[in-house]
Amino acid sequence: MIPFSVLDLSPILQGGDARQALMNSRDLAVHAERLGFHRFWLAEHHNMPGVASAATAVAIGHVAAATATIRVGAGGIMLPNHAPLVIAEQFGTLAALFPGRIDLGVGRAPGTDQPTALALRRTLVGDVDRFPQDVLELISYFDPAEPGQRVQAVPGAGLDVPVWILGSSLFGAELAALLGLPFAFASHFAPQALMPALRLYRERYKPSPAHPKPYVMLGFNVIAAETDAEAQRLSTSLQQAFLNLRRGRPAPLPPPVDHVEMAPAERAMLDGLLSCAAVGAPETVQAALAAFIARTGADELIVTAQIFDHAARLQSFEIAADVRATLDAAKAA
């Protein structure tokens, strides 16, 4: 029985604002908990007019306070933007407030453009190259404090905060395998390296006390509705968002349209980016998810849905939960 989780970018809608986006994220988390989703993760992005979760730890606290059982975390924190001690303190605080429910996924991408990365970090020299050392430093702050230890994460030391490695390339897969950590791959927007990354991670995995076996969670776009045609129309918001980003004009999430104008090269780009997606009625979504799970052997799926209308977004996750139940029943039979 494969768990399904939720990845939320807290989308700011065209004509809306960040407050509405964050309230929608909280409502979606409550909805996802009721539907039996395992985790609810928010992602760090900066200088993005369509993403409200830049202060990711704050957004996680907002969501966790409204829920009771679902795990809440970061998918992820872009660690080169931060001192490991600061992240340990932030997530130690979250773990103290919501014990047993906080996850910390970390990645090495900036989550933004280069000028904004420079504004975040002040200097880019060596930051990305230090990612493995920064991960180890971060993990060490969650160990019980040693006598005489001069620098401690308070809160943080001795608390249960599982650390995940995020990735969209072979680098993250290799690091997660080397450190014996669970691995989350961003196949929902970077599917090209998915299968090589899975092979590398599983073949080179070094068991750790907390994680004796490799564990992979894969991103997947699900835009579901009552009919294929309705879902295809809803998906035009995501298509426009990707095109705006690639054209250098990031913007709030636009409403769906009947047809998205794009050049043939842009269509090919979108087809590649969204090859890990299920767009359609429940039967269409079920077939796509079953094929993806069979092809990858995923231990868990983390589902994302950039849908303009909040009610339609909630319904899409309801359909995804129903599909999971159907797949589980078929497997049990």
pLDDT in tens, 253-306: 999 999 999 999 999 999 998 899 999 999 999 999 999 999 999 999 999 999
Report the chain's mean pLDDT, rounded to a whole number: 94
What's the number of domains the chain is made of? Answer: 2
**324 lies in a domain?**
yes
> What residues make up the domain containing 98?
1-161
Cα–Cα distance, 11 to 133 (Å, whole number): 32
Distance of CA 93 to the CA centre of its chain: 21
Query: Among 17-26, 128-137, 223-232, whose mean pLDDT is lowest?
Result: 128-137
pLDDT at 111: 66
- Clarify whether residues 225 and 150 are in a common domain: no
Give the global pTM: 0.95
- Clarify whether residues 116 and 238 are in a common domain: no
In the chain, DSSP assigns E strands to: 4-8, 39-42, 71-78, 102-107, 163-167, 183-185, 216-224, 277-280, 300-304
- 63-89 b/e (C-beta count within 10 Å ≥ 16 → b): bbeebeebbbbbbbbbbbbbebeebbb
CATH number of the domain encompassing residue 107? 3.20.20.30
- Clarify whether residues 153 and 231 are in a common domain: no
* Pairing of the two strands 300-304 and 183-185: unpaired
Work out the angle between the directed axes of helices 310-332 and 282-296 (0-180°, nearest 10): 60
**212 lies in a domain?**
no
Q: How confident is the model at residue 126 (pLDDT cuts 50, 70, 90)?
A: very low
Contact 22, 59 (CB under 8 A): yes
- Clarify whether residues 145 and 244 are in a common domain: no
- Clarify whether residues 5 and 154 are in a common domain: yes
Q: Which of 161, 187, 203 is the last residue of a domain?
A: 161
Q: How confident is the model at residue 157 (pLDDT cuts 50, 70, 90)?
A: very high
pLDDT at 120: 74
Query: Is the predicted pLDDT of residue 88 greater than 60, yes or no?
Result: yes
Q: Which of 161, 188, 209 is the last residue of a domain?
A: 161
Cα–Cα distance, 166 to 71 (Å, whole number): 17
**205 lies in a domain?**
no
Q: How confident is the model at residue 125 (pLDDT cuts 50, 70, 90)?
A: low
pLDDT at 117: 74
Query: Is the predicted pLDDT of residue 318 greater than 80, yes or no?
Result: yes
**135 lies in a domain?**
yes
Retrieve residue 281's tokens: 């009625």
Whole-angstrom CA distances from 118 to 8, 32, 49, 113, 124 are 25, 36, 18, 9, 6
- Clarify whether residues 22 and 154 are in a common domain: yes
pLDDT at 148: 92
In 271-327, DSSP assigns E strands to: 277-280, 300-304
**265 lies in a domain?**
yes
- Clarify whether residues 142 and 251 are in a common domain: no
pLDDT in tens, 321-331: 999 999 988 88
